[in-house]
Amino acid sequence: MQIADAQREVRTVFQGGFIGGLVSAALWGTSTALATVRSPRAGIIALCLGGALIFPVTSLLLKLTRGRGALSKENPMDQLATQIAFTIPFALPVVAGATLYKLNWFYPAMLVIVGAHYLPFAFLYGMRAFLVLGGAMIAAGVMIGMYANETFTLAGWVGTAMFLVFAPVGMMIAGRESRSASP
């Protein structure tokens, strides 16, 4: 399978990241809401534990909506996707260190880590839009962490909004491609 074909399958199966983006937005929104109404600890636990469910929930929703929630066995991008997924749990000790130093750095640190995690999606999907999303998340995390860290949840709400804005953009990009390929 050629790289362009593998990337096309990733874009098609995962709808340009649309469903995963909505699942991520729901998780970030739930986590931030819990941090707002309950406690920062509740928000932290929700985001860290819920993050492990993003891919399984996304796959389930894709199967329910499209009948297919996984790449073909021939697609080498599946291995890359798995490797990218593990960047988040391996980076959580860095987030923990930042949070232990200053509690209000939790969501900004998560934005930086998740943004960095999205950069290789540009190759995985063959969509440069992921560079924009990743870069925006990194920049927002750094800026909020440095200059607007008086509240615990600001970066959580910003992350939620970024996912909500990007999800339909990814779907439009993938949809436009599939419409132009159809006779």
pLDDT higher than threshold 90 for residue 146: yes
CA 146-152-157 angle, to 5 degrees, is 90
Give the number of other CB atoms < 10 A from CB of residue 4: 9
pLDDT digits (tens, 9 = 90+) for 85-115: 889 999 999 999 999 999 999 999 999 999 9
Number of domains observed in the structure of the chain: 1
Residues present in the chain in total:
183
Is residue 23 assigned to a domain? yes
- The predicted pLDDT at position 181 comes to 57
The domain in which residue 127 lies consists of 3-178
Q: What is the dihedral of CA 21, 24, 30, 33, to 10 degrees?
A: -80
Report the SS3 class of residue 175. Answer: helix
110 touches 47 (CB < 8 A):
yes
Is residue 31 assigned to a domain? yes
Is residue 65 assigned to a domain? yes
Side-chain half-sphere CA neighbours of 101 within 13 A: 10
Is residue 148 assigned to a domain? yes
Is residue 69 assigned to a domain? yes
Average pLDDT of the chain is 91
pLDDT higher than threshold 80 for residue 182: no
Residue pointed to by tokens 């920062």: 40
53 touches 85 (CB < 8 A):
no
Amino acid occupying residue 150: E
Is residue 74 assigned to a domain? yes
Handedness of CA 92, 122, 77, 8 (dihedral sign): positive
Is residue 125 assigned to a domain? yes
Of the pLDDT bands very low, low, confident and very high (cuts 50, 70, 90), residue 175 is: confident
Is residue 61 assigned to a domain? yes
Give mean pLDDT, residues 35-58.
95
- Distance separating alpha carbons of residues 80 and 98, to the nearest angstrom: 28
Of the pLDDT bands very low, low, confident and very high (cuts 50, 70, 90), residue 37 is: very high
